[in-house]
Structure 1
């Protein structure tokens, strides 16, 4: 019997690395603004960054992670039992 299709996200690590390299040159205020923009896009209404996005490294990791997801490929997969 086949199970229903499951949606799988395969991240695009190469594109995420490119985005990360581009943002490494950005200022702290540019990084902060972009992180807030990403948060708004996913439905957060806060006007300040959360505690876990206060450092430059945390912000770069967040941007890279979001890019890997955003540029990912959505697949429908069926498992056979």
Structure 2
């Protein structure tokens, strides 16, 4: 059972899509650099992308996913029902 005071994160899908579309035209180098910046922001100190972020599609999905989290809004569970 979920406590009525538990918060959930709802994504702002529209803003996340806008970010994804913006990065679709970026060069491979720009995508790679931005993914590394995101990883550093969340505490990863590697200078190389992990195996699951090697393709352009994986990188775009990662950027869009991060944007959806970053633009998410915290709401009370009661307001979501």
Return the TM-score normalized by structure 1.
0.88
Compute the RMSD of aligned alpha carbons.
1.5
Gap regions ≥5 residues in structure 1: none
Gap regions ≥5 residues in structure 2: none
Runs of 4+ in 1 over 2 A off after TM superposition: none
Structure with larger Rg: 1
Tell me which of the two structures has the higher relative contact order, counting C-alpha pairs closer than 8 angstroms and 6 or more residues apart: 1
Whose helix proportion is higher, 1 or 2? 2
Structure 2 contact 4–76 (Cα < 8 Å) conserved: no
Aligned residues: 77
